[in-house]
């Protein structure tokens, strides 16, 4: 048996019937897997800041970040399932997340609440931009279902940005 036949057999159980071309599947899967890595990284960062929040607004910020973390985590399964539905394969490990994520980790021993909120605000704003870019890819390739999901997630992400911005405002700024 030649190498190509062996490779075809190895991947055969994962082939999902789809109306998309192989190139479209590859492009959509690539865009969505990168988003999935970012979402996992942002989830963990949000929970990190939730767990290490301190200060006079502890309760409010702690609860807000808990809600935001839940919302972010809720995106992971639908993103991964979209990748599979379009015929791709999705993330398999934390190592793969690390290679794809664009959200920077923050392992500092102490971060002020204001810096936590600002960092999460910026990370969520960047995520919204990346979602828009993935939306463009999916739209150009005719993947209406993924574009529809992205539109809702963009709205949710913009809401998180708005909340993080508003709670961090000082004075009349």
The CATH number assigned to the domain holding 60 equals: 1.20.1260.10
Q: What is the DSSP letter of 12?
A: G
Q: Which pLDDT does position 82 carry in this prediction?
A: 96
Q: Which pLDDT does position 3 carry in this prediction?
A: 77
The pLDDT tens digits for 121-150 are 999 999 999 999 999 999 999 999 999 999
What's the first-to-final CA gap in the chain, in angstroms? Answer: 70
User: Is residue 3 included in any domain, yes or no?
Assistant: no
Q: How far apart are CA 139 and CA 61, in angstroms?
A: 36
CB 73 within 8 A of CB 132: no
Q: Which pLDDT does position 66 carry in this prediction?
A: 98
Domain limits at 93? Answer: 22-167
CB 118 within 8 A of CB 50: no
User: Is residue 150 included in any domain, yes or no?
Assistant: yes
User: Is residue 98 included in any domain, yes or no?
Assistant: yes
pTM beyond 0.85 = yes
Q: Which two tokens stand for residue 18?
A: 């789809």
Other CB atoms within 10 A of residue 81 CB: 13
The structure tokens 């809401």 sit at 159
Q: Which pLDDT does position 90 carry in this prediction?
A: 95
User: Is residue 14 included in any domain, yes or no?
Assistant: no
pLDDT-above-90 percentage for the chain = 84
Other CB atoms within 10 A of residue 1 CB: 7
User: Is residue 5 included in any domain, yes or no?
Assistant: no
Q: Which pLDDT does position 140 carry in this prediction?
A: 96
The number of folded domains in the chain is 1
Q: Which pLDDT does position 8 carry in this prediction?
A: 65
Q: How far apart are CA 66 and CA 71, in angstroms?
A: 9
User: Is residue 15 included in any domain, yes or no?
Assistant: no
CB contact burial 137-170 (16+ within 10 A = b; e otherwise): bbeebebeebbebbeebbebbeebbebbeeebee
CB 37 within 8 A of CB 45: no
> What residues in the chain have per-residue pLDDT under 70?
1, 6-17, 171-173
């Amino acid at each position: 048996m030649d190498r190509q036949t062996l490779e075809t057999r190895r991947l055969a159980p994962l082939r999902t019937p789809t109306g998309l071309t192989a190139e479209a599947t590859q492009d959509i899967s690539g865009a969505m897997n990168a988003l999935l890595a970012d979402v996992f990284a942002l989830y963990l960062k949000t929970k990190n800041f939730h767990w290490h929040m301190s200060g006079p607004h502890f309760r409010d910020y702690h609860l807000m970040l808990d809600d935001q973390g839940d919302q972010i985590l809720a995106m992971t399964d639908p993103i991964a399932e979209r990748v599979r539905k379009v015929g791709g394969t999705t993330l398999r490990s934390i190592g793969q997340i690390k290679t794809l994520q664009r959200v920077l980790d923050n392992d500092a021993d102490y971060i002020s609440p204001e810096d936590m909120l600002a960092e999460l605000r910026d990370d969520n704003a960047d995520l919204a931009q990346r979602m828009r870019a993935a939306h463009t890819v999916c739209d150009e390739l005719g993947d209406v279902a993924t574009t529809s999901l992205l539109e809702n997630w963009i709205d949710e992400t913009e809401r998180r940005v708005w909340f993080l911005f508003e709670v961090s405002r000082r004075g009349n700024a």
